[in-house]
Structure 1
Amino acid sequence: MSDFGPGARLCKILFGRATGCAYPDCSEPLIEEHRGHQSPNVEVAHIRAEKPGGARYDPNFTKANGKLNGEENLLLLCLKHHRWVDAHEESYPTEELLAWKARQVTESRGAGLSAKQLDQVVKAFTTPKAEAEAVGASSVGIVTKIENLKDVKPVNVDSIEFFPGVRISNVGAIDFTVDGVGFDLDLDGQLSAYLFPPAHRLHQPVRRLQPQSNSVWVADADDLRRLAKEMIKMARVPTRFRAFGDLGSGSRVHGPWVSSLHLPVWEGHVTQEWLDGFVDLAKQTRAQLGRGT
């Protein structure tokens, strides 16, 4: 898996010298626009692979001598054609890709991206873009939105376990590492974080995510249930929760808030009306005990 990121300088050089995918007759543009938002539509591909065994690997092109990640060894290709040229190395030799690069540069003269578009490209290739979502997982491999977990029924199995989970998705253009995930619990105005274990007895998550991929972390419902009980003893009832993920870049991404009605901590069937009443009761208890709101 690649850990390469082109950086601002290389982005400006590569995207400033091209107008589209380098694959002959490919009409995919460098930038796509959806509902007023623009994003890169190509990937930065290595002509000569980063590691032995990779497509067109050349031991003379290394990180140490600067050739591997130099501009002359990089090519802009759309997602489909990037996969093609690396999966079928014998059909796409180094010399042919170098010819594509030369043609890509020649054909783009005077027709490069605008300064605003270049800034957007630089941001996309230097800033991780992730999404977090609270999910429910089962011991038979089913993963769904946590709101739908109660509707999952076991089929052709004697028993099934359910787990709270967090799904982190890479919706950007560069790889990133996930250092940890968890739930933020809103205890009627007071936040408390529940951090998931780095691994689980039934599931080992992928910690480094490539673009357009995702990974799921799970925790035992009993652990979350014990935490909720401790909070309730202090007259703090979770009203809502959200997933979060800590990225290797030092940033944290949050998912949308979800009613704690969907936390797998309650015994039996509960309703939002019951939960609201429980929260009000806890608030009254705190007031009586002088613990504030």
Structure 2
Amino acid sequence: MDTAKHCRAAESFVREFMHRFWSNDFAYFEKVLAADFVWIAAQEDQYRLDRDESVDLYRNICQSTPEVVLVDESYEAIASEGGVTVVTGWYYGINNPEMGSAFGSRQRLTVILRDLVGDQPFEIVHLHMSNPVTISRKGEYFPVGFSREAYRYVRMLASQYSDRESIEVREIGGATHVLRTFDVVYLEADRQYTMIHCLSKTLRARQGIGELSKKFPADRFFEVRRGSIANILHVISWDADSVRLTGGVEIPIPVRRSMKVREKIEQLRQLVIGGGGVSQRNLGQLDDPCETDGR
């Protein structure tokens, strides 16, 4: 067995599991649990030594917790032997306050997997999650437990309350989709078409990226490089060489645009966090269309 390949598969499995976990995918959660599954969750009273009790606990979580988007995450298989693999990691999850509650938390986890044969490569034997989540319901003050990091992300997302405009796009096949600003992570040119990468799906629009980008608000979207336009709400981190977005996407920054892109990110983050806005110019007016991208 190729151990390195096996470990990468285990990391991918845990990544998918956590995304489905916070998407309230109850059927998937129940499907991947081993018969002897044990769960130690983050809250003091959330430890379950029985599979059925764990399923009941997750059912309650699905009913009480809004769907969460993981905007930053890392997983690493630290041991694999005798058909058992241990994966550790962390993630940062947020939700859109339009859903009626504000959520933001960074959690650590340890997952023990048992090898299977067939379409499902692993089953989960043990799940340990630490760092309790903190949720503020609509109408409540932010609880003391909110970290500055959580507060910053929620402030950025809370801008969606006053920014309710929707964006209508038509796919190549003719179907029309209405998207919220928060739904779109980034746009990517695909010859005469545009790939619209959203949180839960990717659409291929009939229009070229130059024309389509005019529909998107200039105080949310910015050009990283020629053919790539990102949503400031989904920028996780950046440096002189690249911008990293929700879902592990990394877009290289051309050398000649590096300073300009970083300045634009700082400008838009301050506008969003501070609740301000820019004049309603379209994206085509933000940058010099004749500027080369450095390639």
**TM-score for both structures, normalised by structure 2:** 0.24
**Which of the two has greater strand per residue?**
2
**TM-score for both structures, normalised by structure 1:** 0.24
Bigger CA radius of gyration: 1
Which structure is richer in relative contact order (CA contacts within 8 A, separation 6 or more)? Answer: 1
